[in-house]
Amino acid sequence: MVRIVVGVIVGFISWLLAWFAGEKILSAIGPTWFGAPQRAFEAALVNGGQFTADTTLLLTHIVLGLIVSLLAGFLAALVSGESTRAPLALGMLLLALGVLKAVMSWQYVPIWYHLIYTALLLPMAIVGGKLKPGKAHP
Residue 43 lies in a domain: no
Q: Considering its fold, how many domains does the chain have in total?
A: 1
Give the pLDDT mean for 128-136. 82
Write down the pTM of the prediction. Answer: 0.91
49: left (phi over 0), alpha (psi -120 to 50) or beta: left
Q: How many residues does the chain have?
A: 138
Mean of all residue pLDDT scores within the chain: 94
Short-list 106, 116, 136, CA closest to 69: 116
pLDDT of residue 49: 84
* pLDDT in the model for residue 134: 73
In a domain, 93, yes or no: yes
Position 33 in a domain: no
pLDDT score for 66: 97
pLDDT in tens, 73-84: 999 999 999 999
Domain hosting 90: range is 2-20+52-130
Q: Could you tell me where the beta strands, DSSP code E, fall in 5-76?
A: none
Would you say 43 and 108 are in contact if contact means Cβ atoms under 8 Å apart?
no
- pLDDT tens for 15-50 read 999 999 999 999 999 999 999 999 999 999 999 888
